[in-house]
């Protein structure tokens, strides 16, 4: 006997909603996922044909697979057992900690997002703020780099713009993977950064278990041929000069290198310089403030900086930040380096000897980075201005000093970017920028350092102090 059941309208709507979701999950979503995956794979194949350094399979592996591989790595498991035994805590609790570290570190690279969104945005931002120029580039040696090798770009760290600028400049060659510090641990931002292939790290962590997980990931990525970019200085320069190198990430990359069976690791020195570093005042202010005051002071300076630039843009008085230049040095093959040192093998050395040898290699690479840092109009002019507010100098004398600097720098094989290939114009451009930012003062055709901006003036001079004649007075920050 037939009967009808009546249900409330709201319940019917809910049931209908879940029915549609089930239909999408079972039929439409798998089809769309297949179509999207096919388009991504096609795009990757096209990119690998175009890129000089192809995207390696390791970078395309699903994130969860990489996390599992890292968590159950033999050395990580040994570290887990050691930690559990030493602290007398359950192994499962330590494994949960390892899982958390692995999820924190491992990126989720998406080639479409990197090249179609990230690289294009990097190009737009770079060209909006600066006149971007390629400085020195050893093209012949770069062309000879084995496409299957793991390429590591070793760079000086001037600004957070470094990530954006180098991504733009290298986007025609490869997809770069960066180690990104605590500043990126912001909701949504960290997801975007992971999608771009970067991995988040805790700088200065003293947790042995965390460092083991991080070291194994970096080693796995290097052995997998992932193209990476590292900053040996470990952080932004506070005074403009090159900082002493740190060898943590660097040792993770080469410490267990097998010269016979592993793919080659090729280091490419990269030098960056700017006529204006966006966060220059924040950096020099951080040197003079306590750790507790830094955060408040940085935030206030940043907000003031953004507001001022927006106001200038609205009034039509905003100017570009001058030149930004990137130079690429001579590639250094790790296999050749070890071969030239009587077939040195880091794995056969004890801990102290291994670190000493890695330190030698890292220091040599940072010296090469310093050699290819380009000299720009602002840095040249800042270095030529007498570092005393009591000394005035004519434009003719200023140009003569800059000319001497240029001859010395070029004679030693470093790169000078001369706009329009004109030294006089380069000095004029440098003077204009320094006056605009109140770092120097002009009176009756004479120039002197602004006594209230000596620290900032020295900051820009310090970027090329290692390239200048040793007979020049020392420039200090």
pLDDT at 242 over 70: yes
d(Cα 184, Cα 14) in Å, to the nearest integer? Answer: 40
| Nearest in space to 75 (alpha carbons), one of 249, 212, 264, 218 | 212
**Which ranges in the chain are annotated with CATH 3.40.1130.10?**
104-278+321-372
**What pLDDT does residue 108 have?**
85
Burial of 268 (0-12, 13-18, 19+ CB in 10 A): buried
pLDDT band for position 297 (cuts 50, 70, 90): very low
**What pLDDT does residue 20 have?**
72
**What pLDDT does residue 291 have?**
46
Mean per-residue pLDDT, 391-420: 93
* Number of residues in the chain: 477
pLDDT-above-70 percentage for the chain: 81
**What pLDDT does residue 37 have?**
54
CB neighbours (10 Å) of residue 67?
20
pLDDT tens-place string over residues 61-97:
888 999 999 999 999 999 999 999 998 999 999 999 9
pLDDT at 140 over 90: no
pLDDT tens-place string over residues 305-342:
666 666 666 666 656 799 999 999 999 999 999 999 99
pLDDT band for position 285 (cuts 50, 70, 90): confident
**What pLDDT does residue 98 have?**
95
Which residues lie closer than 8 Å to 427 by C-beta, 6 or more apart? 377, 380, 381, 384, 395, 398, 399, 402
pLDDT at 455 over 50: yes
Name the pTM for this structure: 0.83
- Which token pair is 286? 């951080």
Q: What is the mean pLDDT of the chain?
A: 84
Three-class DSSP category at 265: strand
pLDDT at 389 over 90: no
**What pLDDT does residue 188 have?**
63
Name which residue leads in pLDDT, 177 or 439: 439
- Which token pair is 323? 């030149």
**What pLDDT does residue 450 have?**
94
**What pLDDT does residue 292 have?**
42
Q: Is the dihedral of CA 196, 158, 374, 145 positive or negative?
A: negative
Do 426 and 251 meet the contact criterion of CB atoms below 8 Å apart?
no
**What pLDDT does residue 368 have?**
94
pLDDT band for position 30 (cuts 50, 70, 90): low
pLDDT tens-place string over residues 110-119:
777 888 888 8
Q: Is the dihedral of CA 360, 361, 366, 370 positive or negative?
A: positive
| CATH class in words for 104-278+321-372 | alpha beta
pLDDT at 348 over 80: yes
Question: Which of left, alpha, beta for 118 (phi over 0: left; psi -120 to 50: alpha)?
Answer: alpha
CATH number (1.10.8.60, 3.40.720.10, 1.10.10.10, 2.40.10.120) of 377-467 reads 1.10.10.10
Mean per-residue pLDDT, 293-300: 47
Distance from chain centroid for Cα 183: 13
**Which ranges in the chain are annotated with CATH 1.10.10.10?**
377-467
Which of the given ranges, 199-208, 211-220, 241-250, has the highest pLDDT on average? 211-220
Angle between helices 280-288 and 291-314 (to 10 degrees): 160
Three-class DSSP category at 287: helix
């Amino acid at each position: 006997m037939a009967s009808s059941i009546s249900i409330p309208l709201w319940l019917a709507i809910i049931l209908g909603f879940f029915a549609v979701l089930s239909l999408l999950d079972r039929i439409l979503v798998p089809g769309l996922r297949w179509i999207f995956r096919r388009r991504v794979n096609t795009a990757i194949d096209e990119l690998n044909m175009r890129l000089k350094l192809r995207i390696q399979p390791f970078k395309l592996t699903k994130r969860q697979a990489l996390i599992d591989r890292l968590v159950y790595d033999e050395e990580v498991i040994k570290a887990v057992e050691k930690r559990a035994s030493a602290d007398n805590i359950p192994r499962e609790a330590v494994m949960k900690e390892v899982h958390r570290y692995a999820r924190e570190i491992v990126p989720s690279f998406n080639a479409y997002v990197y090249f179609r969104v990230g690289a294009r945005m990097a190009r737009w931002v770079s060209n909006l703020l600066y006149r971007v120029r390629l400085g020195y580039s050893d093209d012949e040696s770069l062309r000879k780099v084995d496409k299957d090798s793991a390429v590591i770009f070793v760079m000086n760290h001037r600004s957070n713009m470094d990530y954006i600028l180098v991504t733009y400049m290298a986007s025609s060659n490869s997809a770069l993977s960066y180690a990104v510090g605590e500043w990126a641990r912001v909701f949504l931002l960290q997801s975007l950064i992971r999608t771009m292939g970067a991995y988040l790290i805790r700088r200065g962590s003293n947790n042995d278990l965390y460092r083991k997980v991080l070291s194994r990931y970096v080693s796995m990525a290097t052995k997998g041929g992932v193209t990476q970019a590292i900053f040996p200085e470990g952080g932004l320069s506070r005074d403009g000069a090159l900082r002493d190198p740190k060898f943590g990430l660097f040792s993770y990359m080469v410490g267990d290198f097998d010269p016979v069976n592993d793919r080659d690791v090729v280091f490419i020195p990269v030098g960056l310089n700017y006529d204006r570093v966006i966060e220059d005042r924040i950096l020099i202010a951080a040197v003079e403030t306590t750790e507790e005051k830094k955060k408040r002071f940085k935030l206030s300076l940043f907000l003031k900086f953004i507001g001022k630039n927006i106001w200038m843009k609205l009034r039509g008085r905003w100017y570009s930040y001058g030149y930004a230049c990137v130079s690429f040095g001579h590639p250094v093959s790790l296999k050749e380096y070890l071969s030239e040192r009587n077939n040195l093998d880091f794995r056969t050395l004890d801990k102290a000897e291994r670190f000493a040898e890695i330190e030698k290699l890292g220091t040599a690479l940072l010296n090469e980075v310093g050699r290819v840092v380009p000299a720009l109009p602002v840095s040249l002019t800042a270095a030529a201005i007498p570092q005393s507010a009591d000394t005035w100098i004519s434009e003719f004398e200023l140009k003569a000093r800059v000319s001497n600097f240029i001859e010395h720098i070029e004679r030693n094989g470093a790169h000078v970017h001369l706009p329009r290939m004109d030294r006089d114009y380069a000095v004029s451009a440098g003077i204009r920028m320094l006056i605009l930012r109140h770092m120097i003062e002009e009176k009756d055709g004479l120039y002197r350092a602004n006594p209230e901006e000596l620290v900032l003036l020295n900051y820009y001079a310090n970027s090329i102090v290692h390239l200048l004649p040793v007979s020049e007075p020392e420039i200090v920050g």
